[in-house]
Amino acid sequence: MAIRNIVILTGAGVSAESGVPTFRGPDGLWEGHRVQDVATPEAFARNPVLVQRFYDERRAALGRVEPNAAHRALARLDAEWPGALLLVTQNVDDLHERAGSTRLLHMHGELKRALCTGCGAAPAWEGDLSGNPPCPRCAAAALRPDIVWFGEMPYHMDAIGAAIDAADLFVSIGTSGAVYPAAGFVDWARSAGALTLEINLEPSAGTPLFDSARHGPAGVLVPAWVAELLG
Ligand code: NAD
């Protein structure tokens, strides 16, 4: 089958070799915190200071990391692939865009954006949100991280769904397949008639759902796969 339309899903594993810790890890924690303490709306309501500090630290840490070979290879594919391509990332870091990807959607939000719970503005944000700075649009001190927490609706689902419906190839890179709805994309893509490929450090919960799988570090496997695809 000739491949024209590609959808790529990335997860925390694609940024691991840049030094950004993955989500669950062997101990089930994100940077030493339980998910339910930092990544739910209830956690934010209970302890906004802790949650703001947690994301302030993650945002500041982006200044100390760089895109790796996997991000760069995906940016090369974006620049050189003549057909349709959509890179959907679950990551909240900015490493795909810093590598040069442009056909990119952040389905779980972005560390470098704030969200006003008053007026709904989502301004680009570089500094801290601790200290309750005012919203640049409505001036209310009501900014939270623009992160999709557990129990909230991921962003861009209509555009992602349309791209999956039209996909000839769906590739999942560096994701454990534990977080829905992203974990369901492989089934969706197969039903839409796409070939499916997993690239992950190790077999994931979803591996049996893919037509083929390659296991090893993304920094090695993704550049090799991109080189194959571009011939
Ligand atoms: P996850 O942490 O649940 O799974 C990461 C997967 O990557 C694992 O299957 C692991 O085997 C694999 N992996 C680890 N190192 C790898 C490497 N070098 N090469 C290839 N694969 C590697 O991540 P997830 O599935 O993305 O779900 C976690 C959620 O947490 C996401 O929704 C995301 O929003 C959030 N998160 C984001 C970041 C980030 O922005 N970088 C970091 C941590 C968590």
**What dihedral angle (degrees, nearest 10) is formed by the CA atoms of 75, 81, 85, 88?**
-20
User: What are residue 172's phi and psi, to 5 degrees?
Assistant: -110, 125
Catalytic residue among 33, 108, 156, 215: 108
Percent of residues, the chain, with pLDDT higher than 90: 90
Q: How confident is the model at residue 222 (pLDDT cuts 50, 70, 90)?
A: very high
Extract the tokens encoding 171: 């590739």
Mean pLDDT across the stretch 151-163?
98
Adjacent-strand bridge partners of 88: 9, 105
Q: Is the dihedral of CA 214, 80, 90, 196 positive or negative?
A: negative
Q: Is 154 in the pocket of ligand 1 (CB under 6 A)?
A: no
Active site residue 215: no
114 pLDDT higher than 90: yes
Given a contact cutoff of 8 angstroms between Cβ atoms, the answer to whether 142 and 118 are in contact is: yes
Q: Is 93 in the pocket of ligand 1 (CB under 6 A)?
A: yes
Best mutation site among 175, 199, 210 for ligand 1 pocket (most ligand atoms within 8 Å of CB): 175
The pLDDT value given to residue 25: 55
Q: How confident is the model at residue 209 (pLDDT cuts 50, 70, 90)?
A: very high
Q: How confident is the model at residue 27 (pLDDT cuts 50, 70, 90)?
A: low
Q: Is 97 in the pocket of ligand 1 (CB under 6 A)?
A: no
Q: Is 33 in the pocket of ligand 1 (CB under 6 A)?
A: no
